[in-house]
Amino acid sequence: MNSIDLDRCLDSLNNASILVFGDLAIEETILGSIAEHSPEGPFPVVQTQNRILTPGFAGHVARLLQKWGARVSLCTLVGQDSAGIAAMQILAQEGIDIEPVIRDDQENTMVRTRVRVQGDHYPQREILRLYEPNPAGITDDQIDSLKEKLDSILPGFKALVIVDAFARLLPPVLLDLIKTRCKDHNILTIADSETALERFNGFDAVTPNLEQGRNYVDEKTGLEALGPVLLKKLSCKNVFLTLGQQGIQVSTPEDSRHVPTCTFRVFDVTGAGEAIVAGVAAGLTAGMSPEQTAQFANLAAGIVVTQAGLALVEPGQLRESAHLYSALSQAHKMVNLEQLEAALDQAKQSGKKVVWTNGCYDLLHAGHVLYLEKARQLGDLLVVGLNSDASVKASKGPLRPIVNETQRAKLLSALSFVDYVIIFDEQSPIKLIERLHPDIYAKGGDYNIETIDQPERRLVESYGGEIALLPGVEGMSTTHLIDRIIQAYGKPE
């Protein structure tokens, strides 16, 4: 995701009303140092320096969305105990609407404790976790309270995000109410479930991880097929299958594609799941495409895992990460022949269709962009063969190119629908086509099947490739652009 897409997403998300519903726990982090080792047994004695309380699960998803500019309300069930009171204070201080929260004297708010220590000769590290048993089911009175609350408030929201950690707060009567009300009022529905994925059929999006997806479908199902199979079984509009450091597989009724992440250093994966859910909710609520939504979620999770605990992600951190991700993505797109062969072999093994086109792309203009976007729509990957400076001079004269090959390659790499750029010196890319065997050979402009390079045509047809001719846009060409510049600035005053 580039900075322009990110800013557009954050602008569209600003003040969008989102309800987060689901399980909440307090994540307690005890920070300290090992003062000594006990003489009574083989365990350290930790001298406590600080205790940090952070609302987790639905609470953390709500905090992230609020931080990114959405207007967030939280509906959950907490006790009137110290953990529940602390969670509500933190959320209220951050501007989250907690009026929909059901508070019950008979409820125990779950606490999950982590002990982290740091010494003079070692960095901070976790040495112990204390997890309470998962909470028991809810009472009929609690169900009635949640049902009444959801029934009254749901119509006021643009999106609903469900965080289902313990299969507890969603008995059938509540889930049926949610589905009905959201459908009646055109409310986006996003769900993350660690226990019962099948209950969220018909949702706009679900965000299972690889293990959850395979448990629901079939452990033998291949990765490439897993997302589409989940999509069909759940009748969802989008499945965002999270793959850890490998990114997200996005499956829609139209296609399925892998959106890689850009993680620079993994320090602590705590909160990565919540960041993915919040990122998906943010992207879809802001009207982004599924692929852009996955990129947003990857950015957020990639920042979270570089920090300890349930870290909040600031918009400024997202922008900084987007700048870096865009720069790295452009660098990865500019490849040599060996790198390109390896990438395309892997893509073809996954059943992806490769589109090839080539040209000078001197003074990149709107006609080029429109053509390349159309070419990308023909398949799953677009490879652009770029004429080197030497080959451009040989074909167009000593004054061309206007822009050197490195700059032209960087400009092409900045286009989201261009996957790879390779520079070649020959007048014809026929040697590259012979090595790569692209599925589709695209040609733009005024060419027809008889006027394109015939040796290239015969080669593509010999291995069963497809030739696609895409007409150019009248009045849009580098020559036309140069003529306009000369007319405007070429004569002295």
Question: Among 90, 65, 322, which residue's Cα sits nearest to residue 188?
Answer: 65
Q: Who's near 412: CB < 8 A, 6+ residues apart? A: 333, 361, 364, 372, 384, 386, 418, 421
| pLDDT (mean) for 428-433 | 95
Give the per-residue pLDDT at 58.
Answer: 97
Q: Which residue has the higher pLDDT, 85 or 245?
A: 85
- % residues pLDDT > 90 (the chain): 61
Question: Which one-letter DSSP state was computed for residue 200?
Answer: G
224 CB-near residues (< 8 Å, 6+ apart):
256, 350, 351
Residue 3 has pLDDT above 80, yes or no: no
pLDDT for the residue numbered 1: 67
- Which pLDDT band, with edges at 50, 70 and 90, does 343 fall under? confident
- Of the candidates 281, 256, 206, 208, the one whose C-alpha atom is nearest the C-alpha of residue 236 is 206
The average confidence (pLDDT) of the chain is 89
- Tell me: the pLDDT tens digits for 435-458? 999 999 999 877 888 889 999 999
User: 143-161 pLDDT, tens per residue?
Assistant: 999 999 999 999 999 999 9
More confident: 138 or 484? 138
Between residues 73 and 9, the one the model is more confident about: 73
Distance, in Å, from the CA atom of 425 to the CA atom of 430, rounded to the nearest integer, reads: 11
Which DSSP category does 156 fall into? G
Q: Per-residue pLDDT averaged across 191-196, rounded?
A: 88
**Cβ atoms of residues 157 and 17 within 8 Å:** yes
Residue range 174-200: mean pLDDT, rounded: 94
pLDDT digits (tens, 9 = 90+) for 240-259: 999 988 889 999 998 888 88
Distance in angstroms between the alpha carbons of the first and the last residue of the chain: 45
Domains of the chain: 3-329 (3.40.1190.20), 337-488 (3.40.50.620)
Question: Which residue matches tokens 């999006």?
Answer: 205
Spatial contact of 437 and 459, defined as CB atoms under 8 Å apart: no
pLDDT digit string, tens, across residues 372-417:
999 999 998 999 999 999 999 998 899 889 899 999 999 998 888 8
The answer to whether the beta carbons of residues 143 and 174 sit under 8 Å apart is: yes
Q: What is the mean pLDDT of residues 289-306?
A: 90
Host H or E run for residue 483: helix 478-489
- 3-state secondary structure labels for all residues of 63-76: HHHHHCCCEEEEEC
At 240, the amino acid letter reads F
- Burial (CB count within 10 angstroms: exposed 0-12, middle 13-18, buried 19+), residue 436: buried
CA distance 381 to 145: 51
Which pLDDT value is given to residue 447? 82
Percent of the chain exceeding pLDDT 70 equals 95
Confidence check: pLDDT of 42 > 80:
yes
Q: How far is CA 96 from CA 87, 153, 162, 469, in A?
A: 11, 15, 16, 54
**pLDDT category of residue 431 using cuts at 50, 70 and 90:** very high
Helix (H) or strand (E) holding 110: strand 110-119
